Amino acid sequence: MREIKQGPSMFFVGDSYEQAQAWVDYSVAGHILTITHTIVKNGLQGQGVGQRLVEHVIAYCRENELKISLLCPYAMAYFDKHPENRDLLEGRNR
């Protein structure tokens, strides 16, 4: 599987963020990281790349003591399927 890299307000898979094949966009305000979009282009769909990107954001937030807010439907679905990570969601009790 390809390496996940960090670009401006995004984590991505590809040679550069300008030519990313898959990415998750986010914004940070204070201690809250908001996942806005998760995009996986056709050539990588069905390979778990979107899941790996969201999991990378989760690890990043744990390392940097950030909470997560969700605007992205894919990320929302991920957290529905993985309740063990819901402690990171802004406004949720641990």
Distance CA 24, CA 50 (A): 8
Taken in order 33, 35, 40, 44, is the CA torsion positive or negative?
positive
pLDDT in tens, 8-54: 999 999 999 999 999 999 999 999 999 999 999 998 999 999 999 99
- pTM of the complete model: 0.92
Domain count across the chain: 1
Give the helix/strand (H/E) hosting 36: strand 32-40
| Residue 77: domain span | 4-87
Q: Name the one residue in this structure whose structure tokens are 């807010």.
A: 69
In a domain, 64, yes or no: yes
In a domain, 8, yes or no: yes
In a domain, 94, yes or no: no
Alpha carbon distances (Å) from 48 to 32, 52, 92: 25, 6, 27
pLDDT in tens, 1-12: 579 999 999 999
Nearest to 54 by CA among 28, 14, 25: 25
